[in-house]
């Protein structure tokens, strides 16, 4: 079983990646500032701010086979309609 580290796994994109990895029978470790809203026997959360606490990431690396970097610093939420469309996969963005 592959063990994958996901940075930013509590965010919009990261959470989708975590779900896919769990469905693919991977063991997943998430490093993020926010706690996870899901629980799973193959899922572990490690609190950390990668911008400020680089040791958090480096300490997790020897334990994993792969890394998916989905962490980001968000300074602007952008267009509220575009964000709503991302959260609702059945909606279609206006062109």
Q: Say if pTM beats, i.e. exceeds, 0.85.
A: no
Identify the pLDDT of residue 93: 46
Identify the pLDDT of residue 63: 83
Identify the pLDDT of residue 89: 57
Identify the pLDDT of residue 73: 73
Rounded CA gap, 80 and 7, in Å?
Answer: 24
- pLDDT tens digit at each of 95 positions of the chain: 999 999 999 888 999 999 999 999 999 999 888 899 899 999 999 888 887 777 767 776 778 999 999 988 766 556 677 667 666 656 554 44
Tokens linked to 58: 């480096």
Identify the pLDDT of residue 16: 92
């Amino acid at each position: 079983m592959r063990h994958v580290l996901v940075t930013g796994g509590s965010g919009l994109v990261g959470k989708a990646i975590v779900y896919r990895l769990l469905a693919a029978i991977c063991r997943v470790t998430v490093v993020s500032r926010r706690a996870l809203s899901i629980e799973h026997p193959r899922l572990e959360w490690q609190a950390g701010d990668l911008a400020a606490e680089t040791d958090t990431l480096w300490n997790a690396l020897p334990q994993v086979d792969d890394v998916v970097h989905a962490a980001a610093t968000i300074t602007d939420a952008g267009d509220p309609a575009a964000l709503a469309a991302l959260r609702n996969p059945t909606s279609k963005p206006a062109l």
